[in-house]
Homo-oligomer: A and B are copies of this chain.
Amino acid sequence: MKRIYDIENGEEFSLFVLIKTADVKTARNGNPFIAFTFQDRSGSIDGMYWSATEKEIATFQTGKVVFLRGERDTYQGQPQVKIKAIRLAEAGEPDDPTMYVERIEVKREVLQEEINEALFEIREPNIARVVRKILHQVDNEFYTYPAAKRNHHALAGGLSYHTVTMLKIARQLMTIYPDLNASLLIGGIILHDVGKTVELSGPLSTEYTFKGQLLGHIVIVDEMIDRACTEIGINTDHEAIVLLKHVVLSHHGKLEFGSPVTPRILEAEVIHMIDNLDASINMILSATSKTKAGEFSEAIYPLDRRKMYKPTFK
């Protein structure tokens, strides 16, 4: 099926797309119009809807799937839709918004299996029970949320994908450094970003929630562990529980990055470093995937705005 990315300049088309943003503005003549951004998994495109009625403004809102008929045009060098007709998708049509949002390419089942395998490495029974309980509580969000609003792994499913990649690295490191404590390392990685299921609003038009802004995902996951202990009946003064909390609290590595304590056990330091490693690689690969070999990418903001070169050889 055709997608936004495939339409050529001047081409007429009819497509189901998601309304990513819908800003109501006033034209020079005083009439309201809607400045849309439409989206599907192949990309996004802008379009102005002139002289919108109040009812149309109420209908065509962010997050809705619409059937759009238009012609691809160019404005100031940017592609744009000349909107010819627009209506909401109906029952029986492909009206699930999540189908239009970019998401990771790996299937949920594959990730779940990786998580399940890793769970078996947790030998300390209290950590094992707490991790399983929390995973069970956030099961759906864990596999559908992004890992961030922007920057690294900012796409649906990114949270679990990022977690699983960190687990792969960690399990390899355990063969190289046998002193690593598997229970803390594996348990800590699985939980480290689980607070994002409360901090963020979800995979669609991701925003920070009220609790996300005022408490932050690091404290949120600490509370999750604390409550899980109470519910299971584990003493929260137990060394393993204090250390599990510690590795998630300290996983940003430094106070200035938002951790209330700095890493004080080996596994906390290692989780912090693997987290950074996977995030950096993900951001660089995202940027260079849009770059021709032999050229530099766009500036990557979280990496000090560096532009990364893509070699021409293997």
Contacts and interface: CB of A to CB of B under 8 A. Distances in A.
Given A77-B26, A269-B284, A264 B309 contact: yes
Contacts of A273: 273, 276-277, 280
A153 interface: no
A232 interface: no
Q: How many copies does the complex hold?
A: 6
Determine the interface band of chain A, counting residues with CB < 8 A from chain B. 35 or more
Interface stretch (A48-56, A186-194, A219-227): A219-227
Contacts of A281: 177, 266, 269-270
Contact of A218 (B184, B260, B280): B260
A270 B260 contact: no
A11 to B, nearest CB: 13
A152 interface: no
Interface stretch (A86-94, A102-110, A137-145, A242-250): A242-250
A43 B114 CA distance: 45
Contacts of A285: 177, 179, 266
Nearest to A282: B177
Contacts of A246: 214-215
Contacts of A218: 260
Given A214-B242, A222-B219, A311 B9 contact: no
Given A222-B219, A246-B214, A277-B273, A74 B26 contact: yes
Contacts of A202: none
B269 A239 contact: no
A6 interface: no
Interface in A229-281: 230, 236-237, 239-240, 242-243, 245-246, 249, 255-266, 269-270, 273-274, 276-277, 280-281
11 contacts: A10-B30, A123-B314, A215-B245, A219-B249, A223-B236, A239-B313, A260-B260, A264-B309, A270-B281, A273-B276, A277-B277
Given A182-B314, A269-B280, 8 more contacts: A26-B76, A213-B296, A215-B261, A227-B230, A240-B311, A255-B257, A264-B296, A266-B308
